[in-house]
Amino acid sequence: QKRLLANYKGRPSVTKSGRKVNVYANIGSVSDVAYVQENDAEGIGLFRSEFLYLGKTALPDETEQFNTYRQVLQTMGGKKVIIRTLDIGADKNVDYLGLGKEDNPAMGYRAIRICLKQPDVFKTQLRALLRAAKYGNLAIMYPMIISVDEVLRIREIVAEVAAELKREQIPYAIPEQGIMIETPAAVMICEELAELVDFFSIGTNDLTQYTLAIDRQNEKLDEFYNPHHEAVLRMIQMTIDGAHKAGKWAGICGELGADTTLTERFVEMGIDELSVAPSMVLSVRSKICEMA
Ligand code: PEP
Ligand code: MG
């Protein structure tokens, strides 16, 4: 089977009737880029930037981040690299941010909430990203969005960062920007959100957690954690429709995107991109290529 899948290397992910779906890969470190290339992903659909922050005693500075992002972009040539801004909190914690302990961390101070409350942390990352955007096909995406106001605030901060770089005569570019759809709130207002961003990427891990009110970390609840729940699947459809209505694209970067029993259904729903673990890229591509 492995040898058969290898036949799909170097081929586009297109159905027999000509529908193209981008099959990208999820990564969590620079060394993962080798697996992305080995498995011939068409891009990186989710680069979890947390690895730069975890297991450290202080925040990574702008230079360290810039060098890392640039390296990944250059290694990927002109292929799309979607870097997600810091998604820390909940299960991922660091001492130096002083986040403290919470009774309900999954519903707590995490991800974009931290970035908007501590804009210095956010701005350092954005400066590094805008500078790195000169070196490849970068897109930025923002996690855990629940409101239009958050997106407007992000846009203001990005504009401030760009103005600073310009003033300092540091080369930069403003890349494509999208948001993760991983809360039911974002799904319900996706038509408004779609007007403000370039794309949606559905985080089915958190979307399942928040839709079903089931802590994704709680092993006692494993049998109830069902991303195939009709509520989750309908939310995916709503999100795709909301994006398309505004002329934007929508993908899935949660684990469900790699579930090949659903690949046909996602394509029928109109999905534009599936971002999966590098080891799943060719399986998903083969499913797409076998479709009528
Ligand atoms: C998700 O929630 O589906 C997702 C891709 O983000 P993470 O798993 O990093 O929370
Ligand atoms: Mg998530």
Tens-digit pLDDT profile for residues 66-118:
999 999 999 999 999 999 999 998 778 888 988 888 989 999 999 999 999 99
Q: Which amino acids bring their CB within 6 angstroms of ligand 1? A: 46, 48, 87, 182, 203-206, 253-254
SS3 167: helix
Q: How confident is the model over 146-159, as pLDDT tens digits?
A: 999 999 999 999 99
Low-confidence ranges of the chain (pLDDT < 70): 1
- Please report the atom of ligand 1 found closest to the CA of residue 205: 3
| Residue in the structure block whose two tokens are 């810039």 | 66
The closest ligand to the CA of 27 turns out to be 1
253 CB burial (10 A radius; 0-12, 13-18, 19+): buried
User: What backbone phi and psi angles, to 5 degrees, belong to 287?
Assistant: -60, -45
The per-residue pLDDT for 38 is: 97
Q: Is 252 exposed, middle or buried (0-12, 13-18, 19+ CB in 10 A)?
A: buried
**What pLDDT, on the 0 to 100 scale, is given for residue 205?**
97
Compute, in degrees rounded to 10, the torsion defined by CA atoms 125, 156, 181, 241.
-140
Return the H-helix or E-strand segment holding 154.
helix 148-167
Nearest CA to ligand 1 atom 4: 203
Ligand 1 pocket: which of 49, 113, 179, 206 to mutate (most atoms within 8 A of CB)? 206
Which candidate, 256, 141, 154, places its Cα nearest to that of 200? Answer: 141
Contact between 53 and 86 (Cβ < 8 Å):
yes
Å from CA of 276 to ligand 2 middle = 14
Residues bordering ligand 2, an ion, CB closer than 5 Å: 182, 203, 206
The pLDDT score that the predictor gives to residue 42 is 98
> For ligand 1, what atom is nearest to the CA of residue 182?
2
Give the count of beta carbons closer than 10 Å to the beta carbon of residue 244: 15
CA of 61 to the centre of ligand 2 (A): 24
Residue 76 confidence (pLDDT): 98
C-alpha 167/C-alpha 146 separation (Å) is 32
Joined together, the tokens standing for residue 56 give 């450290």
Beta strands in 182-270 (DSSP E): 199-202, 249-252
Taking the centre of ligand 1 as the mean of its atom positions, its distance from the CA of residue 171, in whole angstroms, is 32
Report pTM: 0.97
Percent of the chain past pLDDT 70, that is, above it, reads 99
